[in-house]
Amino acid sequence: MRGARGGARADRARAGRVRFQLLGPLRVQPTGTPVRISARKQRTVIAMLLAHAGRAVPIRSLVTEVWDGRPPRSAVPNLHTYVMQLRHLLSAADSPAADRLVTSDGGYLLLVEPPELDLFRFEEQLARARKAWSGENLGAAEAAYARALGMWHGAPAEDVPLGPALRTVVADLTDRYLSTVEEHIDVQLALGAHREAAERLRTLTARYPLREHLHAQLMLALHRCGDRPGALAAFAAARHALAEELGLDPGAELRRLHRMILGHDVDPGGSVVTLRGARRLLPPVPPAFVDRPRLVTLATTALTAPAGQGGGVRVVALHGGGGSGKSALALRVAQRVAGRYADGVLYADLGGSTAGVPPARPVEVLGELLRTLGVPGDEVPVTEAEAAALYRSVLAGRRVLVVLDNATGAAQVTPLIPAGDGCAALVTCRGLPATLDAVPIAVGPLEEAEAVRLLASLAGEPRVAAEPEAAAEVVRSCGRLPLAVRAAGTRLAGRPDLPLETFAVRLRDRGSRLDLLPGVRSCVRAGYDQLSDRSDAARAFRSLGALDQPEVDVAVTAALLGVPRAAAERALDVLVELRLLEPAPGGRLRMHDLVRLAAAELNHREETASRGTDSG
């Protein structure tokens, strides 16, 4: 977030002269009179640039944001006008403004020093607070938390019209704010400021009735003030809010505290038990990401729907071929729904997409998750059954989302699924495990317009706009596969002198196409590696690649392998399960063009090795 140009820093030497405010109403405040940005679309532009301060924001992303996905034909020239007007407005506060708001990599870049943006100052104070707290310096921690929260003057970007990207930014910032508030109150309670904390928590629980940790803190603060009836009433209010809004009972944290208060068994010096280690353990969504609204809506709806009559954990499986963007989509969905899981988010990469590396064993992943949840290392069981039992016990009654990325099958995933209707699991996998009770959501290649948009976000919007036909040919040569399009865009970004038409011509050479799209071979190989103990399926995969036909059927496969029809059917079923083949109309099967190229290479290598063995 803090990327900047060293020369611009040295030339300006003005850090702190202008203050930008995003944590509340949007403000640009020089040493004198604040800059008034009254035009709604200009506020959206500068908020988007501040949210990505130090990084170039592609023109297409700004257009989508300003017009909320419904731009007019004149959107791009209008955007240029808004930027020109913003430069003029900024010049009143900061001359020369062009040195701060610059054109870069097919987009615009706002150069901001850490002292100039309230979000950067907030992060700095928050880091100091957590460091002091971990060192048990509660006084210093409390002061740093207070300074961090003092940066906030309302809801983030509260007077800015929001598009899809800023809505996500605002949701994430709001969650970060509330987590910081909860940590600050934990420190206040540890310092004995119970009455002050209780007054503060009454307002917070009314404003955020679904934050269970705030309710637990209020119960504890009231009890320590000697108001046991008030603490029990706070539990009743929390239970009512959760039932009304989510159709759920209070989680384990609230229930445990409730029982302790009823039994007069609350340690006066104790603190609220929380799975603090589980909070926000998600990798970032790739910067160049094309939103897929239909799929995001399907997944978020399934993960946030009330539990059914029989209860039970919610499980969603995003399944599709390698390189189809399942992991990035899962991270975006997890970001969207994280606020509904009060006890946090866990993430584990199960290793099913890395060629040459065996997938993670469940017992290894359970150990990592248990340590993340605060279980001491010497108390983590060494057997899978015992570790799974402890894992489910720790999560029982909690509200935690578990993201299980790159799974290989039900045997790997099942021990990692939490128990209880308060938790959920979001799984990404190539083939949908038949025994996994999950809501299946198929993830395929991008639509051509989406693929071109992804290419533009990496190679540059003006460049793609100048050669639309070549850009379309490039993404078609990539089979509209996000992994391949990303590889093409990255290569083009590193070669700004290379015309798209020239690159498109190079991709026409099927013999060298995979050389121009790094990452695709290893992605296909990761799926092929799972065929090691199924020789007929592995041989079918290689043979179908050499056949160089987009679609095949059982009869063709049986003839290629020289096996009975039943054996060919079993081999094809395996390939479909791993998404190395996809169903096609008429009972036929289709192999993605890039997958077929990789399969042909594997077949050639196998034949070469076989000839060498025979001649030896």
Q: What is the pLDDT of residues 555-569, one digit of tens each?
A: 999 998 999 999 999
The answer on pLDDT for 257 being more than 90 is no
What share of the chain has pLDDT > 90, as a percent? 44
State residue 283's pLDDT score. Answer: 77
3-state secondary structure of 249: coil
2-6, 255-259, 491-495, 529-533: least confidently modelled range: 2-6
The answer on pLDDT for 265 being more than 70 is no
Is 65 within 8 Å of 41 (Cβ atoms)? no
- Tell me what the mean pLDDT of segment 101-111 comes to: 81
State residue 277's pLDDT score. Answer: 45
Average pLDDT, the chain: 85
Alpha-helical runs (H) found in 278-435: 293-304, 326-337, 362-372, 384-395, 410-413
Quote the distance between the C-alpha of residue 166 and its chain's center: 15
23-27, 67-71, 380-384, 536-540: least confidently modelled range: 67-71
State residue 309's pLDDT score. Answer: 46
Is 1-183 a domain of CATH 3.40.50.2300?
A: no
Position 1 confidence tier, pLDDT thresholds 50, 70, 90: very low
Omega before 96 cis (within 30°)? yes
Taking CA atoms, 293 is separated from 173, 315, 336, in Å, by: 21, 20, 12
State residue 248's pLDDT score. Answer: 77
List pLDDT tens digits, range 130-177. Answer: 888 877 788 999 999 999 999 999 999 999 999 988 988 888 788 889
> Percent helix, strand and coil across the chain, each rounded to 5?
55, 10, 35
| 589-590 vs 551-552, strand pairing mode | antiparallel
The answer on pLDDT for 255 being more than 70 is yes
List pLDDT tens digits, range 296-316. Answer: 999 999 998 776 544 578 999
3-state secondary structure of 19: strand
The answer on pLDDT for 434 being more than 90 is no
List pLDDT tens digits, range 74-99. Answer: 999 999 999 998 888 887 666 554 47
The answer on pLDDT for 551 being more than 80 is yes
CATH superfamily of 278-442: P-loop containing nucleotide triphosphate hydrolases (3.40.50.300)
Q: Which CATH number fits domain 531-615: 2.40.50.140, 1.10.3720.10, 3.20.20.70, 1.10.10.10?
A: 1.10.10.10
Position 472 confidence tier, pLDDT thresholds 50, 70, 90: very high
State residue 89's pLDDT score. Answer: 82
State residue 536's pLDDT score. Answer: 87
Alpha-helical runs (H) found in 495-581: 500-507, 513-516, 520-529, 535-547, 554-561, 565-577
The answer on pLDDT for 272 being more than 60 is no
Crossing angle for the helix pair 118-134 and 164-190, nearest 10 degrees?
Answer: 30
Query: Could you tell me which residue, 274 or 257, shows the higher pLDDT?
Result: 257
Give the phi and the psi of residue 193 in degrees, each rounded to 5: -85, 60
Query: Could you tell me which residue, 473 or 269, shows the higher pLDDT?
Result: 473
**Alpha carbons 423 and 101: distance in angstroms, whole number:** 44
Indicate the DSSP class of residue 524.
H
Which residues in 326-350 are b (16+ Cβ under 10 Å) and which e?
bbbbbbbbbbbbbbebbbbbbbbbb
List pLDDT tens digits, range 498-547. Answer: 999 999 999 999 999 999 998 899 899 888 888 865 688 999 999 999 88
State residue 471's pLDDT score. Answer: 96
Query: Could you tell me which residue, 254 or 125, shows the higher pLDDT?
Result: 125
Residue at token pair 């299946």: 440
Is 176 within 8 Å of 145 (Cβ atoms)? no
The answer on pLDDT for 613 being more than 60 is no
Which two structure tokens, joined as six digits, stand for 335?
């970001």
Is 192-274 a domain of CATH 1.25.40.10?
A: yes
Position 10 confidence tier, pLDDT thresholds 50, 70, 90: very low
Position 57 confidence tier, pLDDT thresholds 50, 70, 90: confident
- Spatial neighbors of 49 by CB under 8 A, at least 6 apart, are 57, 101, 108, 109, 110
- Tell me what the mean pLDDT of segment 400-429 comes to: 91
Tell me the torsion sign for CA atoms 159, 164, 169, 171: positive
State residue 487's pLDDT score. Answer: 92
List pLDDT tens digits, range 107-141. Answer: 888 888 888 899 999 989 988 888 888 777 889 99
State residue 19's pLDDT score. Answer: 87
State residue 548's pLDDT score. Answer: 76
